Structure 1
């Protein structure tokens, strides 16, 4: 099955889908694809005006219903509040899609004292999955989908005394690309570990959307990076598109071939073997435990 086959699958009228990063790039396109097939789609983003506009537009032109939930995923309290809001608003959750992401231009910490890129790209999905897993299980068969990246192969997840080595990193040592790669490696390792901990009625898979220079991912990146992305997005044949990345997300969330397959990293040619750092059981366990410590939950879940 190719990415484009996702457009010909069954309707989603009975499905409720939570999609973070749903107001721009891949997420915005995916939200439209889900709504066109009749789903109830909860999109999450930071820009209230844009989010409400997109929700209204999609609800008016598609068979589905789209609601916007304004949340800053950098803040632990905001992630937990989002989970509470989702449980109060929706009585089922068939797909939990973690698509939000950023690449910070300089080393910066959240109010919780966590490096920003790791907080948004990895710890927010970890905590949101923890808080919503019961609702996902109640809706089973259900799926969890994570937007990862091929750049995860460049990342590392080194530990020292039970902590991430990068937690003691100085401003001078900070490298935005290395940090982004690290967060994407964490995405893949988290997905593989989660899949092993879940039963077969809830699957967890991640994917590489391709290099999409036009995405809003690099809004916090250094000026030279943002300039390069603008140039590349204008050059035909360079990189992929939000539409192609969205097709992959929708496919993992809905295609019959992924109904029972779990723990996969999917690229343009289908399931691929991810970097060794994502498949090593000991490193995955360390990631899981330290992530639980950082967000304040018991690591013995699910």
Structure 2
């Protein structure tokens, strides 16, 4: 695969083929960035990359990966490292909410695997290119629903009862806790890590695998004025954390609808964050003493 060699910023954006990810990819490309878009649908991703490259001043490439499997995450990291000469921003935006209790090939509950473990492992695998790029950023799409989540690290497979919203809330709490712990561990290095709440965006594909009741609610919310947030607003928040100078100087932040705010206490508790970090390392088979 041809390797890029450019001074333009390079952004790796998971979940970039639809919703706020696709809108953010366009905005970043219009600003001249090289955007590596990650998704599961080859045809959809290739069409998006071709369309954005042809209509913007940037370069958009599609990388296919199913982030539910750890092997796929590692292959993605290898592909990115071989393709790009820099990594200015790593954006973890892929996410799902699944109605059925599903266990991945790695033995992990699916929502936790995609929404948390994939960002955890992909960040680990891409630390070298992040460190090699001055002023690199890690941006994580979290959610305000993290406030109702419980980490439940003694039951990571959620065998003792499964409720889709609880599983999603747990994964979003893990997103926030991971971001804050990563920022602390990177203290003194030229890399920042921040996360944000994009708002409730009912028109995205996030809830494509949710229950019929949830899917009906989100469809109604998408057309009723005053309910939820537009995808454009969510994408603007993502782009802001990826590009705004103030977020290049701030690390360990959670950004809500009105700017930086305090996340749930469960995400800021040092002991819970460290335990999540160590359990996550064990689940993906890496040394917890990173970065």
Deviations 1:76-121 (A, max 9, x none): 0000000000000001000000000000111101110100000000
| Other structure's SS at 2:162 match | coil
1:176 correspondence with 2:164? yes
**5+ residue gaps in structure 1?**
1-11, 159-163
Aligned to 1:229, which of 208, 218, 237?
218
Alignment match, 2:98: 104
Q: Which residue of 2 aligns with 1:6?
A: none
When residues 297 and 115 of structure 1 are mapped into structure 2, their CA distance, relative to the original with a 3 A threshold, is same
Give distance in 1, aligned partners of 2:61 and 2:226.
Answer: 34
RMSD of aligned alpha carbons: 1.2
- Among candidates 237, 244, 260, match of residue 255 of structure 1: 244
> TM-score normalized by structure 2?
0.96
Aligned to 2:207: 218
2:281 is the counterpart of 1:292: yes
Q: How does 1:101-180 map to 2 (within 5 A)?
A: 101-158=95-152, 164-167=153-156, 169-170=158-159, 173-180=161-168
1:112-163 C-alpha deviation (Å, 9 max, x unpaired)? 01000000000000000000011011012110000000000000113xxxxx
Q: Unaligned stretches of 5+ in structure 2?
A: 1-5
> Aligned partners of 2:64 and 2:228: how far apart in 1?
30
* Secondary structure of 1:244's aligned partner: helix
Q: 2:66 aligns with which of 56, 72, 86?
A: 72
Aligned-partner Cα distance in 2 for 1:155–1:165: 14
Q: Do the aligned partners of residues 13 and 230 (structure 1) sit closer, same or farther apart at CA in structure 2, a change above 3 Å counting?
A: farther
Aligned partner of 1:19 in structure 2 is 13
SS in 1 for 2:61: strand
How big is the shift at 1:25?
0.3
Mapped contact 1:18–1:43 kept (Cα < 8 A): yes
1:207, 1:81 → 2: CA distance? 27
In 1, the alpha carbon distance for the partners of 2:189 and 2:260 equals: 18
